[in-house]
Structure 1
Amino acid sequence: MIPIPTITTERLVLRAPCAHDHAPFAAFYASEAAQFVGGPMRDFEVWRYMAEVIGHWQLRGFGRWMVERKDRPGAIGLVGLHAPLDWPEPEVGWMLWDGNGRGYAAEAGRAARSHAYGKLGMRTLISSIAPGNAASIRVAEGLGATLEPDPFEHPKFGTMSVYRHPAPEALA
C-alpha cells in the first residue's frame, strides 16, 4: 500500500481521504455546487468515488487529497493530481465545498502542483475545466495556467477547457 503524504501550507492541511470525509463530500455532491464536477451524485455514488480517489494513489503513485483548514478540522474540499485513463495528461484539480472566495483552492492547488513538479518530477500539468465554471477558471489563471486552443472531449462530461500550467522552470 502506497502511503499518502500529508502536505501543509500556511492555512491548510492536504491529507489522505478517510471514512469520516464521506458526509461533507456527499453533502457537496448532493448540491448544485457540484454541477461542474460530475454532480449531483447519490450517497452511494460518492462513497464509490471516494474509493476511486484512494485507488488512484495505489495505481498511479499520486492522487488527490482531502483539504482541511488548520484552524478547524473537517474536510472542506478535494484537491490534487489526477490522471485516469480517459484524461489527456496529468492534471491538478480542485473542488472546494467550504471556503469559496478565500483563496483555499489556489493555495491547495499550488501545493499539489509543487509536489508534482518537485517530489514526483512531473514536467507538465493541465487543469480541465467545465465551460461556465468561472470560479475554477479564476483559480487556474491565478496559478498562471493559460487556456489551450483545443478543448478536451470527455466521454462522460463532454467538452472541457484545458488550462496549461507553467512548467517547473518557469515557476523557479
Structure 2
Amino acid sequence: MTTFNIPTLQTDRFTLRAPCLSDFEAYAAFGSSERSAPVGGPFDRTTAFRNLCALGGQWQLRGYGRWIVAGKETDAPLGIVGIYHPDDWPEPEIGWTLFEEAEGRSVAFEAAQATRAFAYETLGWTTLVSHVAPDNTRSAALARRMGAEKEGVFQHPSYGQFDIWRHLSPDEVAA
C-alpha cells in the first residue's frame, strides 16, 4: 500500500489542509460558475470531482501541492491555495483560487504567505512564481501585495498567456 502525507498548515484565521469528500459540493459549485474560468471552467461535476482528486495526486507525485483553505472555526472550504506544478508548467507556482464567499477577506493573501513560507522553510526552495492571466487584476494586485514583481510572460497552449510574477526570495522575505 502506498501512503503519503499532506501537511496541515495553520494561519491566524485559516487551516490549509488536505481535501476531503465534504469539500466536493463547494468545489463543484465553484467549478460550475464563471469564477472557474481562469482554471479552465466552467466545468461539470464529473470534471470537478476529477480536479478535486488531483489535489491529492500532485502531493503523491511531487511531494508538494495545493491545500483546501478552510475557516478555522467552521472548517468550511473557502478555496484552494498552494504550490501548483502540472507537467506543462515551466516551474512551480504559488496558485490561489477562491470560492465566492471568501472574496475580499484576505484569504488568498494569508494562505499564499503560508504557502511561500512552507516552500522556503520546509522544502528549502529559494524562488517561486505565480502565473497570472493579464486581465486578472485582483490576482496581479495580490502578487504585488506579496512583493512579487512581473518578470515576463508564459504562453500556455490551452489557457493562453500568463504574466510571470517572481516572488521575494527567502532572504528578502526575512528582511
The CA deviation at 1:18 is: 1.0
Question: Residue 151 of structure 1: SS of its match in structure 2?
Answer: strand
1:124 maps to 2:124: no
Q: Distance in 2 between matches of 1:26 and 1:156?
A: 22
Tell me by how many angstroms 1:10 deviates: 0.3
Aligned to 1:83: 85
After superposition, the CA RMSD in angstroms is 0.9
1:111 to 2:88 alignment: no
Q: TM-score under structure 2 normalisation?
A: 0.95
Matched, 1:72 2:74: yes
Q: Secondary structure at the match of 2:89?
A: coil
The separation in 2 between residues aligned to 1:38 and 1:137, in whole angstroms, is 18
Residue of structure 2 in register with 1:152 after alignment: 154
Deviations 1:21-41 (A, max 9, x none): 111001011111112221111
Once the two structures are TM-superposed, the CA of residue 73 in structure 1 deviates from its matched residue by 2.1
Matched, 1:44 2:46: yes
| Cα deviation digits, residues 1-50 of structure 1 (max 9, x gap) | 22100000000000001111111001011111112221111110011111
Show structure 1 runs of 4+ deviating over 3 A.
none
Query: Is 2:67 aligned against 1:102?
Result: no
- 2 CA distance for matches of 1:117 and 1:64? 15
The TM-score, its normalising length taken from structure 1, stands at 0.96
Shift of 1:135: 1.2
Name the CA distance, whole Å, in 2 between partners of 1:154 and 1:51: 23
String of CA shifts for 1:62-94, please: whole Å, max 9, x gaps. Answer: 000000111222111000001121111111011
User: Which of these residues, 135, 139, 142, is aligned with residue 142 of structure 2?
Assistant: 139
- Gapped regions of structure 2 (runs ≥ 5): none
% same residue: 44
Partner of 2:135: helix, strand, or coil?
coil
